């Protein structure tokens, strides 16, 4: 039985990205350890500037001695895979052109946001491990990182509105069909991107962020494929394959952490992919984003609720620690149990999201 070419176009680059990621890791890891690319002092601050003694006690041994910047493996393997198939198609032609998934209408924007987000995150990580930067833990301040994310989101929003003529959001027919937004699609795009980015703080336990992001991008690969956006499906699958290579070395005990260079790249790009699989792709990819990315949503909401509770309830907290996954850890769950249960929930909500996305 012959495998359809479209499926091969998705699966082959995914496998290649995994292999490239493993290769990059074998080269990068010795350098991360040789140059001691980890935090020199354990501990962190909450978004409202408060200390986190409970977190510091739980993670005092992990915070020091484990390199950051592991996200480099993810975005470099994505970049090399994408560029490699493009160059092979341009030089050799023939069958190689059929595997080239770099296209102006489907993959330029997500690849651009991925690389820019990754580079800004890399700067933040470098400043943090070197003890520089402009906030207490080192690195770029939250304000500056949010500014970068908002600029990236604004660029994407303007491109979608003016270049791609996206003025509506898709909904399943059972929910009323498309909703016209007009120019309001621009602030909506920015708001969604910033909100998803804020969920990147899910990176805090060995294997947690990698597993969750891999599942989410795998789900959107299925959705894009069903919409006949094969290039975008291949891109999402390549992201998932690269994350699997990272995850191979990030499962407990982690050899390195994803950190900002990975989380900023993946969160911002995820928002872009959701919009690309929405009205533009004849579907409702944004409608299912809160479902597929439910664990990111819960992470962000738990932090917001914690801050509001302490502000208006005279310092009283809802959770022992925020974000939510650290709360479960503080109640006595081993970190690996939290991670694996999040993986299970991630698969469940991803399947649910795919089912709803496939509705007419």
Given a cut of 80, whether residue 2 has pLDDT beyond it is no
Instruction: Give how far Cα 246 sits from Cα of 28, 241, 259, 310, Å.
Output: 12, 9, 12, 36
What the block records as the tokens of 90 is 């341009």
Q: Which residues pair with 169 in a beta bridge?
A: 179
The end-to-end CA distance of the chain, in Å, is 30
Sequence spans of domains, the chain: 5-357
- If you average pLDDT over every residue of the chain, what do you get? 91
CA dist 293 and 270 (Å) reads 9
For 217-237, how does the pLDDT look when each residue is reduced to its tens digit (9 = 90+)?
999 999 999 999 999 999 999
pTM: 0.94
The H or E element spanning position 306 is helix 294-312
Q: Give me the pLDDT at residue 133, please.
A: 58
* pLDDT band, very low/low/confident/very high, at 315 (cuts 50, 70, 90): confident
* pLDDT band, very low/low/confident/very high, at 1 (cuts 50, 70, 90): very low
Instruction: Give how far Cα 197 sits from Cα of 153, 193, 287, Å.
Output: 10, 6, 17
Given a cut of 90, whether residue 333 has pLDDT beyond it is yes
When comparing pLDDT for 298 and 42, which is higher?
Answer: 298
Averaged pLDDT for residues 196-205 = 90
For 63-88, how does the pLDDT look when each residue is reduced to its tens digit (9 = 90+)?
678 899 999 999 999 999 999 999 99
Task: Encode 341-355 in three state secondary structure.
Answer: HHHHHHHHHHHHHHH
Residue corresponding to tokens 């479902």: 291
CA dist 213 and 203 (Å) reads 10
Task: Identify the weakest region by mean pLDDT among 239-243, 249-253, 285-289, 296-300.
Answer: 249-253
How much of the chain exceeds pLDDT 90, in percent? Answer: 77
Tell me the CB-side half-sphere exposure of residue 332, using CA atoms within 13 A. 0
For 138-185, how does the pLDDT look when each residue is reduced to its tens digit (9 = 90+)?
678 889 999 999 999 999 999 999 999 999 999 998 888 899 999 999
How much of the chain exceeds pLDDT 70, in percent? Answer: 91
Q: Are 196 and 270 in contact (CB under 8 A)?
A: yes
* pLDDT band, very low/low/confident/very high, at 47 (cuts 50, 70, 90): low
Cα 283–chain centre separation:
21
b or e along 121-144 (b: 16 or more beta carbons within 10 Å of the residue's beta carbon)?
bbbbbbbbbeeebebeebbbeeeb
Minimal CA–CA distance to 275: which of 149, 162, 167, 146?
Answer: 167
For 263-279, how does the pLDDT look when each residue is reduced to its tens digit (9 = 90+)?
999 999 999 999 999 99
Residues 6+ apart with CB under 8 A from 7: none
């Amino acid at each position: 039985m012959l495998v359809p070419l479209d499926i091969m176009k998705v699966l082959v680059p995914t496998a290649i990205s995994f292999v490239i990621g493993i290769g990059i890791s074998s080269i990068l890891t010795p350098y991360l350890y040789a140059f001691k690319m980890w935090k020199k002092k354990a501990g962190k601050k909450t978004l409202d500037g408060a200390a986190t003694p409970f977190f510091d006690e739980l993670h005092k041994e992990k915070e020091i001695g484990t390199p950051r910047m592991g996200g480099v493996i993810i975005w470099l393997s994505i970049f090399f895979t994408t560029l490699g198939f493009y160059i092979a198609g341009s030089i050799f032609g023939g069958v190689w052109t059929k595997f080239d998934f770099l296209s102006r209408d489907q993959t330029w924007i997500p690849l651009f946001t991925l690389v820019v987000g990754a580079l800004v995150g890399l700067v933040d990580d470098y400043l943090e491990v070197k003890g520089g930067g402009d906030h207490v833990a080192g690195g770029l301040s939250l304000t500056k990182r949010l500014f970068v994310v908002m600029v990236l989101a604004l660029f994407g929003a303007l491109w979608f509105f003016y270049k791609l003529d996206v003025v509506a959001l898709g909904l399943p027919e059972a929910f009323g069909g498309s909703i016209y937004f007009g120019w309001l699609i621009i602030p909506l795009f920015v708001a969604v991107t910033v909100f998803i980015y804020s969920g990147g703080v899910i990176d805090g336990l060995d294997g947690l962020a990698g597993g969750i992001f891999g599942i989410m991008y795998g789900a959107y690969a299925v959705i894009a494929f069903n919409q006949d956006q094969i290039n975008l499906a291949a891109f999402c699958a390549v992201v998932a394959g690269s994350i699997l290579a990272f995850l191979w070395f990030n499962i407990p005990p982690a050899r390195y952490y994803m950190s900002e260079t990975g989380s900023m790249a993946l969160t911002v790009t995820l928002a872009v992919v959701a919009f690309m699989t929405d009205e533009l792709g004849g579907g409702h990819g944004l409608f299912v984003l809160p479902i597929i990315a439910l664990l990111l949503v819960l992470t962000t909401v738990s932090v917001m609720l914690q801050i509001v509770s302490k502000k208006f309830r005279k310092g009283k907290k809802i959770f022992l620690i925020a974000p939510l996954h650290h709360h479960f850890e503080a109640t006595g769950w081993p970190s690996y149990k939290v991670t694996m249960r999040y993986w299970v929930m991630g698969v469940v909500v991803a399947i649910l999201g795919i089912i709803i996305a496939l509705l007419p």
